[in-house]
Structure 1
């Protein structure tokens, strides 16, 4: 059997080890509690970041959709404006063409009148060259 002095030393050593183990367990429990608090905070942070990202994505999508609508409206307005400009341009060309046609008619009438004058002058000249006794 073990000696009583030896038994007391062994029991004292065991008690010291148990106190150390109890301290370690208490510290481990405190560390675990702190880790749970940190994990909970990280969970909330991740949830907040996800919400912020979701909100940012929705805002970005809304902005892009608004820009697309604005560009579509702008393109429509430009297309309509170009159609109006083309229409006015064609009307202007038609008006110029009518003016040229009118001027051509007047120039043709003037040329015909001048031709008649030339014919009359030629007639007068040819009659003046003939001896008619005057």
Structure 2
């Protein structure tokens, strides 16, 4: 190898060494940026996991509250149905009582009508007898 080739080889080696050091710095920078990105992504993941848990807990609470409202409504409907059924029974009882009272009143009016007819007949007889005297 002659001196020119040796100088060229040294120059190429120096250039390669310079490029290798620059590449090493670039790789270190890229690794640092990747670590930073990974850290940000992990933080986002943790936030997302926390939000998912909060959302699930919130939905579970809403579901529990809806279930409680549903139970209260059903209990209220049942209580109202019992009241309505009691009112229906009372109405049926009242119809029976009114029917019995109607019969009693009709009987009473009939009796009174017969009594009034007898009183009218007695008064008419009394008046006729006085007129005859």
| TM-score class, shorter | 0.7 to 0.9
- Correspondent of 1:71 among 43, 52, 74: 52
Shift of 1:81: 1.2
Q: In 2, Cα distance between the equivalents of 1:106 and 1:84?
A: 33
Q: Which residue of 2 aligns with 1:47?
A: 28
Q: In 2, Cα distance between the equivalents of 1:101 and 1:49?
A: 76
Question: Does residue 19 of structure 2 align to residue 38 of structure 1?
Answer: yes
Equivalent pairs, count: 114
Shift of 1:65: 1.2
Alignment gaps of 5+ in structure 1: 1-17
Q: In 1, Cα distance between the equivalents of 2:58 and 2:73?
A: 22
Q: In 1, Cα distance between the equivalents of 2:108 and 2:36?
A: 106
Q: In 2, Cα distance between the equivalents of 1:28 and 1:72?
A: 64
Shift of 1:125: 5.8
Q: In 2, Cα distance between the equivalents of 1:71 and 1:115?
A: 65
Q: In 2, Cα distance between the equivalents of 1:100 and 1:119?
A: 29
Shift of 1:120: 3.5
Residue correspondence of structure 1 range 50-129 to structure 2 within 5 A: 50-122=31-103
Q: Which residue of 2 aligns with 1:10?
A: none
**RMSD (Å), alpha carbons:** 2.3
Q: In 1, Cα distance between the equivalents of 2:12 and 2:79?
A: 98
Shift of 1:119: 3.0
CA displacement, residues 8-57 of structure 1 (integer Å, 9 cap, x when unaligned): xxxxxxxxxx8xx1111111111100100000111111111112112211
Which TM-score applies when normalising by structure 1? 0.73
Q: In 1, Cα distance between the equivalents of 2:9 and 2:103?
A: 135
Which TM-score applies when normalising by structure 2? 0.73
Q: Which residue of 1 aligns with 2:5?
A: 24
Q: In 2, Cα distance between the equivalents of 1:82 and 1:122?
A: 59
